[in-house]
Amino acid sequence: MYNAQRLSIKVHSQTSSAAAQVQLMGSTSKGYTLMEQCRVSSLWNAMKSTSHRTNRRRFLGALGAGSLVAAFIPWKTTFAQVQAGAINAASTEPIDGVFALPPLPYNYAALEPHIDTLTMSIHHGAHHHSYVRNLNTALAGYPDVQGRSVVDLLYHINDIPEAIRTTVRHNGGGHLNHSIFWATMGPGGGGQPVGTLATAINATFGSFESFQQQLSDAASRQFGSGWGWLVLDGNGNLAIVARPNQDSPVMDGLAPLVGVDVWEHAYYLKYQNKRGDYLSAWWNTINWEAVALRYDQARNF
């Protein structure tokens, strides 16, 4: 049966092949090129055409797949930058299991001076890597839930076997949150959105500056580790939320559009205890084109 869960596996399979291709430096006969990887968008379109699921499941499935689609869009990057980012990602040890660490669509140094190279390297290559590895390990003994997308796992977290529920919540959330985080940043980022997203932000929050202040405040006030998010609810309204640990907004039926990681591992090497300085710098990394794509996908789904 063709459904969103199986689609997610296909997308992840493409991701694994991409990493394998880079590791083998073109010696694989499968030979996915970067441009071919962009064809995951065709899977996205196929998912839109299915009619087996409820609107909410489609809404959330769109954002989960969308994050991975967006991760392969070479926005404002050269091919060399994309390739270098993929090589960095592929340099980590292989991960066995259903889910794969998505390669960065840019180099670890690409977000300098706002986010430093060492932080990016450890954050993606070690922290995100661990979330994926731990998620796969947890699911290994539970074949009934292995065929489900990470969005589906999190949205139905209370239906996950109790023995692995907390592990899936933490590490599945970590995998999804970070996948969105990487895909919505990029070199030469910052500025302001345009088009329908800009109109919606202005209508909801009064101005871009007000939105910026409210999201920064939410992320700044998050006690301990967590995230600040701009989300879209099932009625098409924008909102700002904060979540602790790796809890994902999808657990509450909210579609995450762009979020900022306020775990100390995201900023402490460069900013130490100055979370506010990190938040100010983060605004200069946002890939608003990727965020607008996520918004349009969620809004039109």
Query: Which residues make up the interface to Fe ion (CB under 5 A)?
Result: 261, 263, 266
Q: Which residue is nearest to Fe ion (CB)?
A: 261
Smaller CB separation from Fe ion, 59 or 282: 282
Which residues are CB-contacts of 87 (< 8 A; sequence separation ≥ 6)? Answer: 22
SS3 262: coil
Smaller CB separation from Fe ion, 208 or 268: 268
> How many contiguous H segments (helices) and E segments (strands) does the chain have?
15, 3
Kindly state the tokens that stand for 227: 């995230």
Task: Report, in angstroms and rounded to the nearest whole number, the Rg of the chain calculated over CA atoms.
Answer: 18
Which amino acid does the sequence have at 200?
A
Smallest distance, Fe ion to C-beta of residue 263, A: 5
Smallest distance, Fe ion to C-beta of residue 228, A: 13
Kindly state the tokens that stand for 130: 């661990």
Going 187 to 256 to 6 to 135, the CA torsion angle's sign is positive
Q: What angle do CA 199, 205, 206 make, to 5 degrees?
A: 75
Smaller CB separation from Fe ion, 44 or 181: 181
Beta carbons of 40 and 70 less than 8 angstroms apart = no
Which amino acid does the sequence have at 275?
R
Smallest distance, Fe ion to C-beta of residue 73, A: 22
Kindly state the tokens that stand for 218: 């939410």
Closest to 102 measured CA to CA, from 66, 123, 132: 132
Smaller CB separation from Fe ion, 133 or 148: 133
**Sheet with strand 226-232: strands edge to edge:** 238-244, 226-232, 255-261
DSSP 8-state code for residue 38:
T
Smaller CB separation from Fe ion, 7 or 120: 120
Smallest distance, Fe ion to C-beta of residue 245, A: 11
Smallest distance, Fe ion to C-beta of residue 121, A: 13
Smaller CB separation from Fe ion, 106 or 263: 263
Smaller CB separation from Fe ion, 268 or 301: 268
